[in-house]
Every structure is written in C-alpha cells, then in structure tokens.
C-alpha cells in the first residue's frame, strides 16, 4: 500500500521516512520528491508498505504528529494524485489550411458562367 506524507521538514531525507515507518512494519520503498532546480525536497513524499494493515496503523499513528516542530499529514495515496492535473488539457491538434494555398478544382470566374 502506498502512503502519502505531506508537510515534511525540508531537512528530511529518504532514510528519515524509512526509520519513521519501520516502527509499524516493513517498508518496501520510501521516496521524498525533490525539486530538480533547487535540489531541495518539495515537502512531501511516498512510502510503500507490503502489508495494508501495518500501513493503516502507521497512517492512524503518524497523521497529525509533530516532527522538528512541523505537523505532518499522513494518508493513503490515490493512484490518480500523481497525474498532472494542472495546465492545458491535451487535445487533438487542429489541421489548418495554409493561407497561400489556392482552392483546387475551381474554374476561374469567367468560365463559371457567373456573368
């Protein structure tokens, strides 16, 4: 089960999440999301635990707890929450006709008998 941890201290590393959640069971993977430019953590991360009962116990125990003077949020992660929900929606590109292109298969006006 994947767990979302929000409002984590900026000094924390992945190993801090592992030590925090190891008290409740085996941690398969722990990752803090890091900004590519500043190389500082973005204040949230994810922990994956094999046993869902242990994960639920960890969520109940750690949600709202204080670490380094900051109250952290711990909740079950939604698979959809990782998707990009901001910005433009991706749609099919419109096919535009070039402005300089002449219409095809049309006769000139003097041959169309419009006069």
Tell me the pLDDT tens digit for each residue of 65-98.
999 999 999 999 887 645 555 566 677 777 776 6
pLDDT at 6 over 90: yes
Phi (first) and psi of residue 79, to 5 degrees: -65, -30
pLDDT at 29 over 70: yes
Burial 59-69 (b: 16+ CB within 10 A, else e): beebeeeeeee
Percent of the chain past pLDDT 90, that is, above it, reads: 63
Is the Cβ–Cβ distance between 95 and 62 less than 8 Å? no
Is the Cβ–Cβ distance between 6 and 13 less than 8 Å? no
Domains of the chain in sequence order: 2-79 (3.30.70.330)
Q: Mean per-residue pLDDT for 20-37?
A: 93
Confidence at 108, pLDDT banded by 50, 70, 90: confident
Give residue 107's pLDDT.
Answer: 73
pLDDT at 3 over 90: yes
Half-sphere CA count of 12, side-chain side, radius 13 A? 28
Whose tokens are 């008998």? That residue is 113
Whose tokens are 């959809």? That residue is 80
């Amino acid at each position: 089960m994947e767990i979302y941890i929000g409002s984590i201290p900026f000094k924390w590393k992945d190993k801090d999440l592992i030590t925090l959640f190891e008290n409740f069971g085996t941690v398969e993977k722990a990752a803090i999301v890091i900004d590519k430019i500043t190389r500082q953590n973005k204040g949230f991360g994810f922990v994956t635990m094999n046993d869902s009962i242990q994960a639920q116990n960890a969520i109940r125990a750690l949600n709202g707890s204080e670490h380094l003077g900051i109250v952290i949020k711990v909740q079950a992660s939604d698979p959809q929450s990782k998707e990009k929900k901001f910005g433009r929606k991706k749609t099919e590109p419109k096919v535009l006709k070039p402005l300089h292109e002449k219409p095809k298969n049309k006769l000139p006006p003097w041959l169309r008998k419009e006069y």
